[in-house]
């Protein structure tokens, strides 16, 4: 939930590859839900994003209209290489 909120808030986050691959389907589903734009979709998004009204507003009013013509593939994962401390693969997860 927190990573999903951060993706919508900043539109690009630096995280581990495993976390990015785990949160990517959730983010894609929320954007598809926001493209519907009805009241029920807003309530479902509010439930999944932890009652954060500002993020839900940004998702429905700014992010979803951007992808009105797009059928899917709203996010991209860019590999950055291993982290120095523990060699975990780091990536950028961003909205296209």
Query: Residue ranges of the domains in the chain?
Result: 2-95
Cα separation, 19 vs 17, in Å, equals: 6
Predicted pLDDT of residue 80: 96
What digits encode the pLDDT tens for the residues 26-82? 999 999 999 999 999 999 999 999 999 999 999 999 999 999 999 999 999 999 999
Predicted pLDDT of residue 75: 95
Predicted pLDDT of residue 32: 95
Predicted pLDDT of residue 35: 95
Predicted pLDDT of residue 62: 95
Predicted pLDDT of residue 87: 94
Fold (CATH) for 2-95: 50s Ribosomal Protein L17; Chain: A, (3.90.1030)
């Amino acid at each position: 939930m927190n990573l999903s909120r951060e993706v919508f808030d900043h539109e690009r986050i630096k995280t581990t590859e495993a976390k990015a691959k785990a949160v990517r389907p959730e983010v894609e589903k929320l954007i598809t839900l926001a493209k519907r734009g009805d009241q029920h979709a807003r309530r479902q998004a509010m439930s999944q994003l932890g009652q954060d009204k500002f993020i839900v507003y940004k998702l429905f009013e700014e992010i979803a209209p951007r992808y009105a013509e797009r059928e899917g593939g709203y996010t991209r994962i860019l590999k950055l290489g291993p982290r120095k401390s523990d060699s975990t693969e780091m990536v950028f997860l961003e909205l296209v």
